[in-house]
Chains A and B, each alone.
Chain A
């Protein structure tokens, strides 16, 4: 079945450093979503990418969708302590029924002030 792999599993950075998490799918995706889960909280939607090669920015966050629509990345510039949490990608495959989102296992980001 479809798998979505996400790396790294953990990332510890000094405040001000950059951070990137990568997501790879075993199949072509129709779209990919990114979520952030703060410690003790629930996942919160960040963005959805649909087009091949799409790049979207939200302030210090940059999201990319690969040309083949099999991979994606989230890059945070100059991390802040408020960026702490686990970042999940979630891919939707083509075809079949209405489908469901398959989540990666997440990258847990810690930021040292």
Chain B
């Protein structure tokens, strides 16, 4: 079974630009979560999608958005990039059991550098 696939793996943008990151979950997983990882703040939750609906959202500004498609693939978008958005963006899928349980399977991440 293929793991979680994230594209692109690395990208460089300049301030003010926007970026779209893609995540393909493990086949059969309908829950996809996004996390931002930085050295100082660790793993911070962005949002979770389940069956094309955003059902949880972290404490990030509206510049961060996401969506999920009918095949469970997910994208996240960051508009008007700031230097502080430089981070590793991790996607994780889960085979949803009872609410909230089930291990997260992480992708390799998309490393975004904003210049």
List residues of chain A with CB under 8 Å of any chain B CB: 1, 30-31, 33, 35, 41-45, 48, 50, 88, 90, 92, 97-106
Contact = CB atoms under 8 A, between A and B. Distances in A.
B33 A100 contact: yes
B31 to A, nearest CB: 8
A101 B94 CA distance: 12
A1 B48 CA distance: 17
Nearest to B31: A98
Interface in B26-55: 33, 35, 41-45, 48, 50, 55
Interface size class of B (residues with CB under 8 A): 20 to 34
Contacts of A101: 33, 45, 100, 104
Contacts of B85: none
B99 A99 contact: yes
Contact of A103 (B35, B48, B55): B35
B77 interface: no
B6 to A, nearest CB: 9
A45 B50 contact: no
